[in-house]
Structure 1
Amino acid sequence: MSDSPMKSHVFAVLDEPYCVWEHPEDNNNLEFLNGIDPAYFSFVAERMRSTEASAEEDRRAATALRSTYHHALETFFSLVGALVQAPTCVYGWLAQCSTPTLRTLVEQISENRFSSPNVVQGAPVTWETISAVVHGRMDVSEPERARVISGFADLWARSALLFLRRENIDEYNSLKHGFRVHAGGFQLSMDVAANEQVGAPTTKFDLGGSKYGSRYLLIERIGGTAKSNRSFIPRRHYVNWSAEQTSLLLVLLSASIRNVVTFLKLLNGGGDQTNSACPTDDEFQAPWGHTVGVVRMDLARKIPDWAVSATTRQNLDEHLATIGFKRATGK
């Protein structure tokens, strides 16, 4: 490849190698990075938290806020993956990284077991070492640099847990694929009787809740767990979240994206780190002061396996044929 008149970028996405060629006079990577607008996410956070909105507008704004938050998580961790494995060809790495692959990368970094090809030298790839790389050239005092590195590392570790949480994945998929959600959270409480007698006095225990959240339908297999079984039933899922926490996290993610992009620009011959964001300790901790108690719940009618039939593709093709459905055939 060194004999070619073209410039090449060789990198891996996890353990899969790729090569992107470009003209030696081009800097497509810097052009791509200059097109990223990290402030978009903080802009949405600010605009979606209006105190003058009606109840219906408030629910819509909260849904837009939540969708943007999931988008920011995916954007940030994608940029981190590119920084770790392909800082000179970010656009190429992003094009080859699927969402499941990205979640695997985030999980491996969180568990300190990332061993794929990377550019982080001399230390394990952790959120702390990544933050040290991103913020290591900031023109601030050593104590301030250490504070910023630690603050972002903690934020990214916590954000990774949220990014990998099953209910958050399902919620994001429901939001971005046609908004298949109902806006609004739920409250959960229970009454505990003083004794077993009918009419005994009860004590109510509040388990928490929120007016903000999502409700969506998923399907799960019934009649057997084998992948060949194509029988499913619906299950309704409920997720609670704090709009205040989501908004505050979105602002911090916007700052995170800004700092990563600034560092990547520096590596690729453009910009400097004078505009890097340095949140205060209070700003780093503020999101975690907002809790909703119970976070998730799912409900479904109790249907025993014997009440339905496990089905295979052949079963269903035969059934579709009997009711007049036919497969299209090419000429």
Structure 2
Amino acid sequence: MQQAIFAVGDEPYSLWEEDIFVRAVDFLDGLDPEFFTYLLKAHQGASDEQRAAVGIRLALHHAVETMFSLLGALVQAPDCPYAWIARCSNIELREVVRRISEGDQTLLSKFKLPSMGWEPIAALVFQGFEPGSERQKLAVQGFSKLWKGLAGELLTEAVADEYNATKHGFRTRPGGFKIEIGPVTSPDMRPEDVPMTVLGESKYGAMFYRVEKFGGKGSRHLRSQRVAMNWSPTRDSLLLHLAQLSIQNTVTALKLANKFPAEQCRYQWPDDETDFAGPWRHSPGVTSITLPHTVDPSGVARDIPKADLLKLIRDALGGNVGP
């Protein structure tokens, strides 16, 4: 019987297996980073552009989540990545990513990193890639900047809400939005007469509802907000490709950490060796807008206790609900 001790963030775990190494090898052998390349190719050139844009966007969200899960496992549990990923919730993953982005030195790692951040982690991932070469230096710089940018998106509330809404089929409107601004020089000017500057525009995107609590502590009052998102399928496609490369390279680093033969460890490199910034040049401008609340808390009755709400539900259904 073997034991591996690891942490997910600051939560410690003790893993027991008959053979941890065999489990790790089996897990890493079964991963398929090329799956995301398949998804990208399946949606590119599709006749239904709106649904293809949704498919690419969902694949990007999925790939980014997978990529950061593997990077987190590499940092905190390279000997049992399957256990780290299984125990790491979405909330915990975002917290680990936030701490790495902020350079939190207290984040536990099984490697003696010179500092905590995306560049030291990229150096760890690419330590076996053409050591000492200019390409290795470019890989560390390029991928670390990519991961920092994607981390910022992962930690953006609107992006997280969009992923949850879209993957469950709750996107209620296809397409993006257009937002313009212009000076009004006289009270009687019509909007069409105002010289406008476009701040954001895209034919691709999503609209969904964010439902949140309001009221005092323990309140069960809820209200919704409409959130609209703008997408650039070109940007999303380029980022999906780079995320797939990141997944492949992180899997390679995990394999090397688990003593895989060199011939089974393969690094991948983007077609344009230096253009990691390419995706960010395809921005639709303003990417999200949240419409104001339509419910004023001051006009809502006091907080209703849980027991009272359950009674109201049972009374409305003739008592035929629950114990």
Map of 1:14-53 to 2, 5 A cutoff? 14-24=9-19, 27-50=22-45, 53=47
For 2:123, give the aligned amino acid: A
In the TM superposition, residue 197 of structure 1 has moved relative to its aligned partner by: 4.0
Q: Which residue is 1:328 aligned to?
A: 322
Report the AA paired with residue 102 of structure 1. Answer: L
Q: What is the identity percentage for the equivalent residue pairs of Structure 1 and Structure 2?
A: 34
Q: Which residue of 2 aligns with 1:217?
A: 209
Alignment of 1:254-293 (within 5 A): 254-272=244-262, 275-279=266-270, 280-293=272-285
**1:216-268 deviation digits (Å, cap 9, x = unpaired):** 0122334x2x2421112221110112110000000000000000001111221
Letter in 2 for 1:295: T
Find the partner of 2:310 among 305, 308, 317: 317
Letter in 2 for 1:220: E
Query: What is the CA distance between 1:327 and its match in structure 2?
Result: 4.5
Counterpart of 1:238? Answer: 228
Counterpart residue number, 1:70: 61
The number of aligned residues is: 318
Over aligned residue pairs, what C-alpha RMSD do you find?
2.1
8 A contact 2:206–2:229 mirrored in 1: yes
1:22 CA displacement: 1.8
Which SS does the other structure have where 1:203 is aligned? coil
Which one of 153, 156, 159 corresponds to residue 165 of structure 1?
A: 156
CA shift, 1:133, in A, is: 0.7
Do 2:235 and 2:279's aligned partners in 1 also have CA atoms closer than 8 Å?
A: yes
Amino acid in structure 1 at the alignment position of 2:31: I
1:294 maps to which of 262, 286, 294: 286
Between stretches 134-143 and 108-117, larger displacement belongs to 134-143
Cα 1:308–1:25, aligned 2, differ >3 Å: closer, same or farther?
Answer: closer
Deviation readout 1:71-94 (Å, 9 max, x if unpaired): 111101100111011101011111
CA distance in 1, matches of 2:172, 2:77: 36
Deviation at 1:295?
1.0
Unaligned runs of 5+ residues in structure 1 are 1-5
Q: 1:301 to 1:156 in 2, by over 3 A?
A: closer
Question: Residue 3 of structure 1 aligns with which residue?
Answer: none
> Contact 1:194–1:203 at 8 Å: present in 2 too?
no
**Contact 1:105–1:114 (CA<8 Å) still a contact in 2?**
no
> Is residue 142–residue 274 contact of structure 2 (8 Å, CA) maintained in 1?
no
Q: Which amino acid aligns with 2:160?
A: I
* Secondary structure class of the residue paired with 2:196: strand
In the TM superposition, residue 319 of structure 1 has moved relative to its aligned partner by: 1.6
Q: For 1:113 and 1:176, locate their aligned partners in 2 and report how far apart those are by CA, in whole Å.
A: 31
Counterparts in 2 of 1:122 and 1:211: CA distance versus 1, 3 Å: closer
Deviation at 1:305, TM superposition (A): 2.2
